[in-house]
Amino acid sequence: MSQSGTSKQALAVADPSCSAANSPPNSPPALKRRKIQEDNNSPPVDGGGPAGPGAGPGQTDPHQNGASSNGFNTMTGSAASPTASSPAKNGNAANGHAKNGNGGGAARSEEAIDESLYSRQLYVLGHEAMKKMAQSNVLVSGMKGLGVEVAKNVILGGVKSVTLHDTENCQLPDLSSQFYLTEADVGQNRATVTLPKLAELNNYVATSASSLPLTAAFIQQFSVVVLTQSSLKEQLAISEITRPAGIALIIADTRGLYAQVFNDFGPNFTVIDTTGEPPITAMISAISDQGIVACQDETRHGLEDGDHVTFAEVEGMTELNGGPPRPIKVLGPYTFSIGDVSQFSPYVKGGIATQVKMPTQVAFKPLSEALTDESLFLITDFGKFDRPALMHLAFITLHEFRQAQQRLPQPWSQSDAQAFVDLAKSLNPQYMNLPVDEAFEQFQAQFAKLAAGDLSPMAAAMGGFVAQEVMKACSGKFMPVKQWMYFDALECLPADLSGLTEAECAPQNSRYDGQIAVFGRSFQAKLGDQKYFVVGAGAIGCELLKNFAMVGLGAGAGRIIVTDMDCIEKSNLNRQFLFRPWDVQKAKSSTAAAAIKAMNPNMNVESQENRVGPETEDTYHDGFFEELDGVANALDNIEARTYMDRRCVYYGLPLLESGTLGTKGNTQVVIPHVTESYSSSQDPPEKSIPICTLKNFPNQIEHTLQWARDLFEGAFSQAPLNAQQYLEDPEFVDKTMRLQGAQPIETIELVKKMLVDEKPSDFADCVAWARLYFQELYHNQIRQLLHNFPADQKTSSGQMFWSGPKRCPKALEFDPNCQVHMDFVTSGANLMAEVYGIKGSRDESDIATILKRVNVTPFKPRDGVKIAANDAEAQAQAQQETSDQETLTKMAQDLPPRDSFKGLKISCLEFEKDDDTNFHMDFIVAASNLRAENYGIAPADRHKSKLIAGRIIPAIATTTSLVAGLVALELYKLVQGHKSVEVFKNGFANLALPFITFSDPIKAPVGKYYDKEWTLWDRFLLENDGDKEMTLADFLNHFKEKEQLEITMLSQGVSMLYSFFMAPKKREERLKMPMSKVVESVSKKSIPPYVKALVFELCCNDKDGEDVDVPYVQYKLPKKN
């Protein structure tokens, strides 16, 4: 029940036990106390420092204690950390530096990626990008809420090392957003106390901490530097270090409901893939001498001007094959130009054009120049086009205010706000030169009032965004922000701001003070009283639960209930950050609940392990939902999402919905009586592969992988299941005989094969079966296909049959020296052995010996075999197929009696893609690639095969963090009681581009009968008086008299209770019955005792006899004594 899928739908290699102290010399060495100070009269940069680049663990820096380094004077340290001189081990500070003891990151670049951990992320970033990340050292400065979110996501992502830096000690308000701080940590250095918990996230990432001011030598060891909580003076000074050294600099900050991100990746940064989308392929039907390419079968190519393509399999104009990438110009949806090719040979037929991702050079301006360049703003909300410039000036003003006052503006202080506005006016000509009007002053004043706020949802959203920028800087994968990104969520404030006074929002010596500074004490109490149901504790579920714990949702008189029926797997650990390696195989819900309880001991959280659906309505019944204030979905399938959506509509509850797909994410808020519901719209169905293409005419690796997956299911799941049912169910044959079409004969044949014809007695028989299966699939069937449709066959129109998407196959000859051939036999034999409980073998030499004894009968194609040339023919053949009753009866009689198989146990294998020892993926990869060899299709490696055959949804922690943060911002609005649709935001993001946009939720469509308007949230509510229940006749009369509606049909679920065309006798009988008895009589089921109301659907005519659409009926049952 994790997040995977949009709302409608892995790395390291060193020994995890390796100590950071044993890292190679090029990993970040122990940090030393120092400050950066320019040789001239420039002030020092505030912040910490390490040993020089060559200093290993235990070594000293020759520039320590006042020696000069890189144009800066170093100074012995300050008293920034009270533990600066204490011994260091596993997170305790020593000379301002602590290590997690994990290490191993430095060695990973030379070794394989841990696909069991990073599998889902690998499908987002790819191996090359992750290898580059594994060589990157990252510094994250500032360990409040935003800093810890960035560090968390970067560590989960799998860089070489992360160094946590903070010169300040923990204060109680930090707990508003910093989920790894506790009240016991108050007074201790934030980086030092955060280190042990962050280090647990990924044993492959060397994680360390520094509590000392930053130095030039220290900074120059990193690939990427992330600054949070930093002053503008510090930012400018550090940018003068990072830019000349080729170090990527990212500056990020959140203040109340405002956020800022800045990138400087240098003057010539290379992006290797701007979008992350799979390369487009197009099958070619024609290429003119002028270089105009037409695509096959009127299929849209999807290319854009400036894209580059390469060619393969072109006949005639062979000069294109294997040539360098050629730029294209789009001429239309089905055509594009590649320039003059008149000097090439004439085009004959065929060919595939494949998009090539070309490197893109991006130039960044230094911070000093970017400060005054408003052309560098990334617009995230086109309804707030003027906001970035206003926020840019506000953040600059905040730096100046803080430097002058040595503090932030007091929350909701009118005097501080006015001083802030005056300061912004004075700075405006230097930076933005914006029109100074009432809107300008109101915005700057509002910024000042909120600037002291520290909100977990803002930190989570921006932490995901910034961490993705870090990964871009490390890998060159995806387009970075160029260069400023601003975001605000002012809609979270109440409509009436009069209650937000300086006294209401003053600090309360509470862990929630950062939130109280924005919303006040009363709102905090309201959050604590909320009762929310979180469905799913996967990736999004973990992030939501963490955010809810930080904001204190349900931490007062309320509570959170979380349910998830899944257990933790290793592949979850890369995204589901509440879990640790020692939690594998534990229940997700209880583990997540315990984790957030540790983050905020005040949380009232109850964990359950139930699936949501009709089968658990005895648990999630009327009483359960009626106590809730809202529901947050964190689900990975449409069926469960739709079910919860219907429940929320029925009970009038708000629903927070979200989903991710790689770097893409979306959020939706469903507001009772205001918006449409989740189910009101849906994505178009996924494009399916035609049956004929799968069976006989594949042209893409996706086709062969789906074919291989079907092969696995048929041979090792469905056939064993049929045999198992025959052995266990005495009525199996009778039930099979009643199936439609050719299914009875096909099923009985499978049972006979499993129990008689192909039943192995030992592993040698399993090997023989696999060898003969190879012969049938890759040799015999292909020869039969070519017998029916020879290579030179033409269609009735004179076109070559084997052309366009139909690739002419070739039969394979088994070769024991070919690894793929042996992989098929080895995996197939072991899987068959598992089905029958026979001990298998991985020894290929033994298997090769057995193969020499297998007798393979030469194949001779047969005449009269029907093979459909297209789907229409295949469908016609399927409709004509029947089971001859006499033949079927004889086949059933020929089956050995069930009791003759006493002691035989047959196992049905359930496909499991993530276990590399079970032969499942071995079989799929070999089967698919052999099929691809048949048809001349490029094979797929195991990684790609697992993605497609396993139907894996790519996922990465950064998107999850962003999405969950945006969801929590919508939660604020719901708790505020907002009803205006314009206040709420549905969000869509693609961090690869990067692109974030928001739209107002769609209002619920309005229906009407007579002069009464209604939406999906409305219903007819019928209640019974006391214990007396209305009859069906009373029910019909009620609508006729009260609503002037004549009910023509009445249903409940799948049961038709009443219709105008019913037999008169049956109608009269039902009219006298109480409504509950009508339901029980028709459905033949008793109404469960927990059901308080029934739902009826109506078809009605108005008084003019016209059909009208009306709401459903909520019929409340009489109270039971």
Catalytic residues: 692
Kindly state the helix (H) or strand (E) to which residue 1065 belongs, with its residue range: helix 1064-1071
In angstroms, the Cα distances linking 4 to 9, 540, 613 are 8, 9, 19
Cα–Cα distance between 389 and 948 in angstroms, integer? 45
Burial zone of 322 (CB within 10 Å; 0-12 exposed, 13-18 middle, 19+ buried)? exposed
AA letter at 163? T
- DSSP string for residues in 114-162: -HHHHHHHHHHH-HHHHHHHTT-EEEEE--SHHHHHHHHHHHHHT-SEE
AA letter at 545? L
The angle, 0 to 180 degrees and rounded to 10, between the axes of the packed helices 957-976 and 145-157 is 150
Q: Is 1008 helix (H, G, I), strand (E, B) or coil?
A: strand
Instruction: Show the tokens assigned to 430.
Output: 């230097």
Kindly state the helix (H) or strand (E) to which residue 1035 belongs, with its residue range: helix 1032-1042
Task: For residue 207, list its beta bridge partners.
Answer: 162
Cα–Cα distance between 30 and 406 in angstroms, integer? 32
Which residues are CB-neighbours of 812 under 8 A, at least 6 positions away? Answer: 778, 779, 782, 821, 930, 933, 934
Cα–Cα distance between 829 and 763 in angstroms, integer? 7
Question: CB count, 10 Å around CB of 80?
Answer: 21
Cα–Cα distance between 674 and 1003 in angstroms, integer? 6
661: left (phi over 0), alpha (psi -120 to 50) or beta: beta
Cα–Cα distance between 1030 and 62 in angstroms, integer? 93
Omega within 30 of 0 (cis) for the link into 279: no
Burial zone of 759 (CB within 10 Å; 0-12 exposed, 13-18 middle, 19+ buried)? middle
462-493 residues labelled b (16+ CB within 10 A) or e (exposed) = bbbbbbbbbbbbbbbbbbbbbbbbbbbbebbb
Where helices occur in 696-740 by DSSP H, the ranges are 701-712, 719-728, 732-737
Q: Are 192 and 31 in contact (CB under 8 A)?
A: no
Q: Is 309 helix (H, G, I), strand (E, B) or coil?
A: strand
Kindly state the helix (H) or strand (E) to which residue 1095 belongs, with its residue range: strand 1093-1101
Q: Which of 545, 597, 590, 601 is nearest to 567 (CA)?
A: 590
Query: How is the beta sheet containing 224-227 ordered, strand by strand?
Result: 97-99, 206-210, 161-165, 137-141, 224-227, 248-255, 258-264, 484-488, 377-378
Distance of CA 1082 to the CA centre of its chain: 44
Rg of the chain (C-alpha set)? 34
Q: What is the DSSP letter of 268?
A: S
